[in-house]
Amino acid sequence: EVQLVESGGGLVQPGSSLKLSCVASGFTFSSYNMHWIRQAPKKGLEWIALSYYDSSNKYYADSVKGRFTISRDNSKNTLYLEMNSLRSEDTAMYYCAKGGMGTRDWFAYWGQGTLVTVSS
Amino acid sequence: DIVLTQSPALAVSLGQRATISCRASQSVSISRYNLMHWYQQKPGQQPKLLIYRASNLASGIPARFSGSGSGTDFTLTINPVQADDIATYYCQQSRESPPTFGGGTKLELK
């Protein structure tokens, strides 16, 4: 059974940093692209970052480019999102999602999410 | 970015058919592949994949869910609607980066 478990969220002040983790199980993590997707309170879904299966390519939404960094450790089956210079508009539930083995992914499995609140 | 437009809400009666539409600002099809996907999200839960590539049922999804469409116009159909289907439904395209989502359609009971 595929499982994705996020952690690391919390309440932080504007301008601060936070690092999220997503531990994967039930599939060969090192073979799949992985994504971060967020959802602001009462809002829709926003894709924010992609890491290829081998970390060879990483892509970001314009809204987080230069502030957020996606990474992965295939030996630990873990995906990360390092978030710097956080803003109030980054307040959201952050989900990791399993992609495919190529480009043009859909998101077959999602974690339960970790909540990030940016407020003074 | 490709913009996906969904109606905000749809009211249906239990046992009836629900048709949820999604229109893309440009084609999301490549040759025979229609790169539109559908998700269901219930309050307090993560989204769940229902349909991939426009018409393929994801694993474990009941056959009362179906998808159709090509180019810029896509439809998710639930027939018959059951109480457990009350949720918000999102379309998502993977034709171009960045992947984008529609604003969601909230399925409500009439």
Q: What CA–CA distance (Å, rounded) separates A115 from B11? A: 30
| pLDDT tens, residue by residue, B34-87 | 999 999 999 999 999 999 999 999 999 999 999 999 999 999 999 999 999 999
Contact A107 B90 (CB under 8 A): no
Select the residue from A34, A36, A45 to test the B interface by mutation, using most B Cβ atoms within 10 A: A45
Average pLDDT by stretches of 10, chain A with 120 residues = 98 98 98 97 97 96 98 98 98 96 88 98
Tokens 């399925």, residue located: B107
Contact A106 B102 (CB under 8 A): no
Min Cα separation B91/chain A (Å): 10
What DSSP letter does each residue of A36-67 carry, written as one string?
Answer: EEEE-TT--EEEEEEE-TTSS-EEE-TTTTTT
Task: Judge whether B87 and B9 are in contact, CB under 8 Å.
Answer: no
Q: Which of B50, B62, B63 is nearest to B91 (CA)?
A: B50
Task: Judge whether A107 and B92 are in contact, CB under 8 Å.
Answer: yes
User: Collapsing DSSP states into helix, strand and coil, what is residue A77?
Assistant: coil
Task: Judge whether A105 and A49 are in contact, CB under 8 Å.
Answer: no
What is the predicted pLDDT for the residue at B97?
92
What is the predicted pLDDT for the residue at B109?
93
Contact B49 A104 (CB under 8 A): no
What HEC string does chain B produce?
Answer: CCCEECCCEEEECCCCCEEEEEEECCCCEECCEECEEEEEECCCCCCEEEEECCCEECCCCCCCEEEEEECCEEEEEECCCCHHHCCEEEEEECCCCCCEECCCEEEEEC
What is the predicted pLDDT for the residue at A120?
96
List Cβ neighbours of A118 (8 Å cut-off, separation of 6 or more): A12, A13, A14, A16, A86, A87, A88, A89, A90, A91
| pLDDT tens, residue by residue, B19-38 | 999 999 999 999 889 999 99
Tokens 């529609």, residue located: B102
User: Collapsing DSSP states into helix, strand and coil, what is residue A31?
Assistant: helix
